[in-house]
Copies of this chain bind each other. A is one copy, B any other.
Amino acid sequence: MPVGLKPLSVLHPVAGVRLGTARAGIRKPGRRDLVVMEISPGAHCAAVFTQNAFCAAPVVLARNHLAQAAPRYLLINTGNANAGTGAQGLRDAGACCAALAGLAGCAANEVLPFSTGVIGEPLPVEKIVQGLPEAYAGLGGMGWEDAAHGIMTTDTAPKGVSRQFTLHSHPVTITGIAKGSGMIRPDMATMLAFIATDAAVAPELLQRCLHEAARLSFNRITVDGDTSTNDACVLIATGKSTLPCVTDSASAVYQTLASAITEICVELAQAIVRDGEGATKFIIIEVSGGANEEECARAAYAIAHSPLVKTAFFASDPNWGRILAAVGRAGIGDLDLERVSIHLDEACIVQNGARAPDYTEEQGREIMRRAEIAVRVDLKRGAHGVTVWTCDFSYDYVRINAEYRT
């Protein structure tokens, strides 16, 4: 059960984007596992990919295609990651792109491939090719919800966010979907996210906007510290809105649009953590008072990745010593632990590096029973801060990942 994840709200169509899905039986029969996104001519696409040196064939090919041509189609399959598949994997990804290009009458390098699922098994190209006509025939502007289902793997719920608002009297829509629930950590993870707006944005500005949004959202979540081979996040600007093309990063219109896109990415990123494998709690970790952002992130991830902290959250055990120990081992030079304070929600649990005098176990236990808990650490060394979102570590995490391939 995802933690505090709201049911999917209406995902508004974005002019210039059509989506279609199919049940191609890639891994399990009867499951929506193939998604095609069509992008109108003239749109711009920005993308960020996994930082893992072991990146999957579709990531390699998508990067190549993106450098060669403006994408007209995104082709996404679940059930098989096409990773660790060597030269054959590249050929297989290429064959799928070529098959969609043949149906659609475009060039193969106008198709970007995305795969997620089991690593190291050959991509079932034939099943994907056979499923393509159904997905292609079903292309429509209302396909976002089905697509949100179609990109799921161990996700227990679809993830999507949509906003409509007015910018300088022009209506603008942003809609995004995402998947991912394990192998999630900073610098992208086993996650795919596809966000589209009908605003027109100059290509370099669009890429900048996506980088900034990903830095504050998808790169600030962690479930288990593992980075996947297949992560990708795509931001599409179709330019179908009547809003004039956004070209100036200092303009109010860019700031507003970029903020909205970042908010959507944050909401999608949090949805991924809320549905983290085995998650029973949603944990917000705010580290402030750092001399720089980097050391705040080190402390935040040391907490977020600690199995001892995560199992304590699972057990609703206010074991604040484990949190302090994680800060202590984060490798922050000259850290004076005796100045550090830590809050759990409204309660100060650590003051000057020791248990706060007014803190009681009862207070801690009451807070630890909540489904959403904020851990706020003040390093008292400077003015920088970082927020990271994570979840607890439960029996079900072990079960899900022990049984994943069986």
Contacts and interface: CB of A to CB of B under 8 A. Distances in A.
A325 B229 contact: yes
A239 B314 CA distance: 51
Interface in A371-406: 393-395, 397-399, 401-406
B84 A353 contact: yes
A267 to B, nearest CB: 26
Assembly stoichiometry (copies): 2
Nearest to A182: B308
Contact of A401 (B84, B311, B405): B311
Contact of A395 (B324, B328, B355, B398): B398
A27 interface: no
Contact of A119 (B55, B321, B337, B405): B321
A332 B55 CA distance: 14
A332 to B, nearest CB: 7
A311 B352 CA distance: 38
Interface stretch (A35-43, A46-54, A129-137, A140-148): A46-54
Contacts of A110: none
B406 A315 contact: yes
Interface residues of A, number: 64
A398 B402 CA distance: 14
Contacts of A306: 224-226
A327 B54 contact: yes
A317 B403 CA distance: 8
Contacts of A225: 305-307
A86 interface: yes
B401 A54 contact: no
A183 B308 contact: yes
Of A53, A182, A395, A397, chain B has the most CB atoms within 10 Å of the CB of A53
Interface in A266-317: 305-308, 311-312, 314-315, 317
A174 interface: no
A119 B322 contact: yes
A156 interface: no
Given A326-B226, A327-B54, A84 B355 contact: yes
Interface of A: 51-55, 81, 83-87, 89, 118-120, 182-183, 224-229, 305-308, 311-312, 314-315, 317, 319-322, 324-330, 332, 335, 337-338, 350, 352-355, 393-395, 397-399, 401-406
16 contacts: A53-B327, A53-B332, A53-B337, A54-B328, A81-B321, A119-B322, A120-B319, A120-B320, A226-B308, A227-B329, A228-B325, A229-B325, A311-B401, A317-B406, A395-B398, A395-B399
